[in-house]
Structures are given as structure tokens and as C-alpha cells.
Structure 1
């Protein structure tokens, strides 16, 4: 991806994104044992209000989870997509987190998809995003700018392994879409 500068703030990436899980042990087993993310910090919240814990996702960035003993149940199709992209509606409510994409190396993408499947993770079909009317190509062409595969964590959080396939430039920004 092309290197661009933020003229307002020296933002260096995502420190962490904080999600809510139903079962800390199950979440640790998925993120640490299935996805291989080191568990780097655990916190018991004061007054037995729950727990907060962090996994290293690389480049100094983290994904964090809260566990609250009395949290409401998940609401797929409202607070998160009800199905994986390519197999149903990806709509979620305003202010919700639709999905979290992890950047992976393009040269390892296909083997990572195979590895997820071997670990028993149900994945979407691979989507080669391009600028065609369908916005997806069956093959990796010169027009494909990112490849994606989607899967759910144990709480229904939609995750993505994504890899840029070419450098983005001014051709990739269409201001008429912003209006």
C-alpha cells in the first residue's frame, strides 16, 4: 500500500481494538492457540466487574477483549454481520464493528487459508477484490487490489485475513462516491 502522511496527528497504527467475549478461556484458546497470537496482558477489573486481556497481533498492535459477567447476548445481524461475506448479508448496525481485518503477507495468503481450514475454522470463499462491476474476480488479475478470506471467532466476531496485492494510488480514490 502506498505510504501516505497524516498532516494532523502522528498516528502510528492501531494500539488495540477492544471487543467483548462471552467466555475468556474459549477466546484465549481461539486467539492464542488457533491464530497463534501471544497473550500479553491480563487484568481483573476492580470489584469483580470482569476481565480485560490483550493479544499481540504484530507490529506493536493488539486486540483486546473484555469479559463482563452480565453482558447481553450477541446480536448477529445487528451488532455484527449475520453471515460471512460472500455467503449472505454483511450488513450491521450503525456504530457497530462489521469486521476486523488482519494484514497478512500476500505470498503466504493461500497457505494461511489452508491452515485455518486444517484447524477446523469455517472460512468464506477467497474474495479477490477488484474494480469490476461485481467487485470480485475468480482469479488474481492486475486489477485485484486486495485478497480476503473471512471467518468468525467463537463469539461471532467477523475476522478477515487480508493482503494487498498492489500499491494503491490516485486511481483508487473516487470522490464522487463520497457524496
Structure 2
């Protein structure tokens, strides 16, 4: 079985490319490293697409977050899922860096929530980018290990059993 070695990028649509660019380059510190412009394109199923610019912002790891600025007018549509469950989590190296990132974001006018302690393993702050991307900045305090994997399997199995029995 082949397993991917890393995430290359995750992509979202933006309706304000200038604000998105400022957020990711200035408030977050990512670098604009690539762009693709398509004036005539089709989807993988052959449908015509509106012209777009696809921009890539690189993190220190080399992985990217990318945005499509698609020609035309768009309204945000709720997909009916929990807003807090959909988020992108980015790592920093320490709790001190987490505090620095919170201040850095605040210095750029970003409303920051947290710090939230998730089971002593992740310490996280939260905000939204101009495109509505729910962003978590987190410091993972220790590597996950086999004990964590075993506990995860037990929680997974119990959750599925509880769902099947109608207990949750």
C-alpha cells in the first residue's frame, strides 16, 4: 500500500484575494510561492469553468495552503455541517511561539480565540482568515505514540458501537 508522504496543499476559494494575500503573507508569515492562471479551463468531468487564479502560500515545512480567485460573483453557502469541525491546523514549535503567533495575528487586526488545552497534547489558538477558513494554530506538546494509537482504536470502536446502538 502506498501512503502519501506529506500534504502538498489544501485549497479554498477566496472572494477577496487582496485580503487573503495580506492575511497569509503578513499576519501568518507564509510565502507566496506559486500561481496558476487559467482563462479557459474545464473540470475533470469536462464542464467549462470560470477563469481563475490559483495561488499557493508555503509554510516552513514546504506544504502549502492555496486559494482560487474565481471570476464571477459568489455567495458563501452553508454546507449544513458544524462550522467548528472544519478547520486547518498549523503547527508551531513551542507554547512561546504559540503566544507570539497570537500576538502577531492580533497586531494585524485578527480576532484570536484561545489558548485551548486539548488533553495536554495540543495547545491551540483559533481565528478565521478573510475567506472564512477556520484556522487553528497549535503546539503539539509531545509526539503521538503506540499507546495513543491503541487508545484511539478503543475510542473509535466504542464510538461506532455507541452510534449503532443509538447512544450518541
Instruction: Give the TM interval when normalised to the shorter protein.
Output: 0.7 to 0.9
Query: Where is the strand percentage greater, Structure 1 or Structure 2?
Result: 2
How many pairs were matched up? Answer: 145
Matches within 5 A, 1:50-129: 50-70=52-72, 72-75=74-77, 78=80, 81=83, 90-91=84-85, 98-106=86-94, 107-129=96-118
Shift of 1:118: 2.2
Matches within 5 A, 1:16-27: 16-27=9-20
Map Cα deviations across residues 125-150 of structure 1 (whole Å, 9 max, x no partner).
Answer: 210111xxxxxxxxxxxxx0011111
RMSD between aligned residues:
2.0
Query: Where is the helix percentage greater, Structure 1 or Structure 2?
Result: 2
User: Could you tell me whether the CA contact under 8 Å between 1:129 and 1:145 is conserved in 2?
Assistant: yes
Q: Any unmatched runs of 5+ in structure 2?
A: 41-49, 161-168
Shift of 1:42: 1.9
Is residue 175 of structure 1 aligned with residue 153 of structure 2?
yes
Structure number with bigger Rg? 2
User: Could you tell me whether the CA contact under 8 Å between 1:80 and 1:158 is conserved in 2?
Assistant: no
CA spacing shift, 1:80–1:74, aligned 2, 3 Å = farther
User: Could you tell me whether the CA contact under 8 Å between 2:124 and 2:137 is conserved in 1?
Assistant: yes
Map Cα deviations across residues 86-106 of structure 1 (whole Å, 9 max, x no partner).
Answer: xxxx25xxxxxx000111111
User: Could you tell me whether the CA contact under 8 Å between 1:80 and 1:156 is conserved in 2?
Assistant: no
TM-score norm. by structure 2 comes to: 0.77
